[in-house]
C-alpha cells in the first residue's frame, strides 16, 4: 500500500498545535511517519544549541502500530528521562544508570501508548529530577531557547524546551517542587501539575505518596487539556488513581468560564521572594484583561509552616527512594542529593507527624479560600532565568537563599495541599525572557482550572510561535 503524500512541509507540521495535527492524522491527510520525519529534522536543527531531547528512538517509533481512531492517533511525544520506556535508554540523569535500558515501561508510558502516543525521545532532567536547573553528569545542561546562555529551569527542562522549539507537540513532565511548572514558566509554554491521582501515581514502591506527580506540558492550554485527557484514568497499579471526568478536560476548557474570581498574591503573604521585574509583568498582564466577568483582587490566606511541611514531605520521598536503590547507583549522587538524604535522616517521627497535621491545616485553609475564589494566582518563580552555569540563586530580591530549594517556594503550596497548578505564559521581561503566571485551583479542579486558564490565554492573545534558539 502506497503511503499518501502530504501537502505539508516539515516546518508547517512542527508549527501546528497537537490537536490540529491529530485531526490531520484522523483524516488521513498525514501519517505518523510524516510527523516522525518532521520532528527528527527539527531536532537535528536545534539540539546542538539546546540539548533537550537527549535520547531518540526513531526505529521503535516507526515500528509502532497505532489506530488513527485512538485519542492521540499516532502523535509523536516526549517522555522525561525519569520514566522507563521499554527498550530505550533511561538514565534518570545519574551516572550509575547511564547505560540502563529497561525491559518494562512505566505504567503511564503504557497508558499513553495505548491511547495513541508514539514515544520518539527521552527529554533531559537533572539527576533524579532533583534541582530546578536541568543538567546532569550523563548528558550535560539543557539551555533556554529564548537565550541559550540561560537555563531552562527543571526538572522537566528538556520537555519544556522540546515544546518551545517545536521538536515535539506534546511532552510529558513531572513535578514535586515545581519541576514541571518552573520550566514551563522559563520557556514560555503551558505546564500543569495535576492533583495527585489524576495522571497516575508515584513510583511503585511509594504508591500512596502524593508529592510527586506526572503531568502534561504543551504549547497552549487546549493542547495541555488534550494531553491530560490521554493521561487520566483509573489503573489498579496506581492505588490513588480514579476514573476520568465524564466530560473530557478539553471540552470543559473550551466552554464559557462565566464569572471568574482571581486572588493575586505577589509573595504568598511574604513567604516567597519575588523581584519587582516579575511582579510588574504579572500585575501588568492581569490589569490588561479588561474582562467584565473576571475580577482580580490582592489576597492570600495565611499559610503557616508551609516551608517546614514541604521539606518534610520531600525528605520522606527522598529517603523512601534511596532505601531501595543499590549502592552502585547512590554512590554517584551529587552533593545536593546527599544533603537531602542527610536532612531526611535528621528528622524524627514526630517531625513527620507534625508535617501531616500542618498539611491538613493548610488544605483546610485552601478549601475555605476556594469557596469564594476560583484560583489563587502568583508567580511561578521569583526571578527571571539565570545563566546556565548557576545551579541555583543565592539570593532573590535581596533575600538570601538557604539552599537550592528555597527559591522554589512558590511551588510548595500546590504540592503540600494536593492542588492542581498551572503555569500560563502571560508576558516577557524587558530582556525578552518569558514570564508565566501560576494559577492554583481547588482539589481535583483541573477542569475549572483549565477553563479559567484558557479564558485568560484568549484575552491576553500572546502569539504561540516556535522558537529558533537565540544564542546568548
**Selection from 125, 106, 118, 123 nearest residue 58 by Cα:** 118
* Catalytic residue, candidates 155, 156, 182, 202: 155
**Helix (H/G/I), strand (E/B), else coil: 371:** coil
CA distance 202 to 211: 8
Edge-first strand listing for the sheet containing 375-379: 53-56, 117-123, 75-80, 170-175, 213-218, 190-193, 421-428, 434-440, 375-379, 260-264, 294-298
Which three three-digit cell numbers place residue 14?
A: 512542527
Whether residue 155 lies in the annotated active site: yes
CA distance 162 to 129: 17
CA distance 179 to 17: 23
Whether residue 334 lies in the annotated active site: no
The answer to whether 200 and 114 are in contact (CB under 8 A) is: no
Q: Is 261 exposed, middle or buried (CB count within 10 Å of its CB: 0-12, 13-18, 19+)?
A: middle
User: Can you say whether the dihedral through the CA atoms of 438, 439, 441, 446 is positive or negative?
Assistant: negative
CA distance 337 to 97: 16
208-245: burial string, b at 16+ Cβ within 10 Å, e else: ebbbbbbbbbbbbbbbbbbbbbbbbbeeeebebbeebb
What's phi and psi for 336, nearest 5 deg? -65, -35
What's phi and psi for 369, nearest 5 deg? -55, -40
CA distance 303 to 342: 27
* Catalytic residue, candidates 70, 105, 162, 179: 179
Whether residue 276 lies in the annotated active site: no
Q: In DSSP terms, which residues pair with 53 in a beta bridge?
A: 123
**Selection from 168, 157, 170 nearest residue 125 by Cα:** 157
Q: Which residues are catalytic?
A: 80, 155, 179
Amino acid at each position: 500500500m502506497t503511503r499518501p503524500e502530504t501537502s505539508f512541509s516539515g516546518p508547517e507540521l512542527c508549527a501546528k498545535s497537537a490537536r490540529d495535527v491529530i485531526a490531520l492524522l484522523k483524516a488521513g491527510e498525514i501519517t505518523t511517519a510524516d510527523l516522525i520525519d518532521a520532528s527528527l529534522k527539527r531536532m537535528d536543527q536545534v539540539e546542538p544549541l539546546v540539548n533537550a531531547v537527549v535520547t531518540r528512538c526513531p526505529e521503535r517509533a516507526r515500528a509502532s502500530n497505532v489506530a488513527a481512531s485512538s485519542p492521540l492517533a499516532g502523535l509523536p511525544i516526549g517522555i522525561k528521562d525519569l520514566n522507563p520506556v521499554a527498550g530505550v535508554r533511561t538514565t534518570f540523569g545519574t551516572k550509575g544508570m547511564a547505560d540502563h535500558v529497561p525491559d518494562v515501561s512505566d505504567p503511564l508510558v503504557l497508558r499513553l501508548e495505548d491511547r495513541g502516543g508514539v514515544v520518539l525521545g527521552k527529554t533531559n532532567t537533572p539527576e533524579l529530577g532533583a534541582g530546578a536547573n536541568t543538567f546532569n553528569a550523563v548528558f550535560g545542561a539543557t539551555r533556554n531557547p529564548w537565550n541559550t546562555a540561560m537555563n531552562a529551569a527543571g526538572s522537566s527542562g528538556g520537555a519544556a524546551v522540546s515544546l518551545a522549539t517545536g521538536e515535539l507537540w506534546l511532552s510529558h513532565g513531572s513535578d514535586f517542587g515545581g519541576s514541571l511548572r518552573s520550566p514551563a514558566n522559563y520557556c514560555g509554554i503551558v505546564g500543569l501539575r495535576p492533583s495527585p491521582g489524576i495522571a497516575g501515581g508515584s513510583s511503585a514502591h511509594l504508591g500512596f505518596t502524593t508529592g510527586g506527580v506526572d503531568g502534561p506540558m504543551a504549547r497552549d492550554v487546549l493542547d495541555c487539556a488534550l494531553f491530560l485527557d490521554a493521561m487520566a484514568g483509573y489503573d489498579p497499579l496506581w492505588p490513588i488513581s480514579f476514573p476520568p471526568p465524564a466530560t473530557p478536560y478539553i471540552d470543559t476548557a473550551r466552554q464559557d468560564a462565566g464569572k471568574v474570581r482571581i486572588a493575586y498574591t505577589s509573595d504568598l503573604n511574604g513567604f516567597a521572594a519575588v523581584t519587582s521585574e516579575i511582579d510588574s509583568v504579572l500585575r501588568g498582564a492581569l490589569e490588561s484583561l479588561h474582562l467584565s466577568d473576571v475580577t482580580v483582587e490582592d489576597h492570600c490566606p495565611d499559610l503557616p509552616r508551609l516551608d517546614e511541611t514541604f521539606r518534610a514531605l520531600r525528605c520522606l520521598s527522598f529517603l523512601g527512594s534511596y532505601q531501595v536503590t543499590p549502592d552502585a547507583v547512590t554512590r554517584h549522587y551529587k552533593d545536593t542529593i546527599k544533603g537531602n538524604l542527610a536532612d531526611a535522616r535528621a528528622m524524627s517521627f514526630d517531625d513527620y507527624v507534625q508535617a501531616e497535621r500542618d498539611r491538613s491545616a493548610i488544605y483546610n485553609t485552601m478549601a475555605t479560600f476556594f469557596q469564594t475564589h476560583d484560583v489563587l494566582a502568583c508567580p511561578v518563580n521569583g526571578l527571571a532565568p539565570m545563566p546556565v552555569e548557576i545551579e541555583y540563586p543565592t539570593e532573590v530580591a535581596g533575600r538570601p537563599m538557604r539552599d537550592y530549594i528555597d527559591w522554589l517556594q512558590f511551588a510548595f503550596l500546590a504540592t503540600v495541599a494536593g492542588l492542581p497548578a498551572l503555569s500560563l505564559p502571560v508576558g516577557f521581561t524587558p530582556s525578552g525572557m518569558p514570564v508565566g503566571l501560576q494559577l492554583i485551583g481547588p482539589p481535583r479542579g483541573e477542569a475549572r482550572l483549565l477553563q479559567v486558564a484558557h479564558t485568560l490565554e484568549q484575552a491576553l492573545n500572546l502569539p504561540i510561535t516556535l522558537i529558533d534558539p537565540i544564542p546568548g
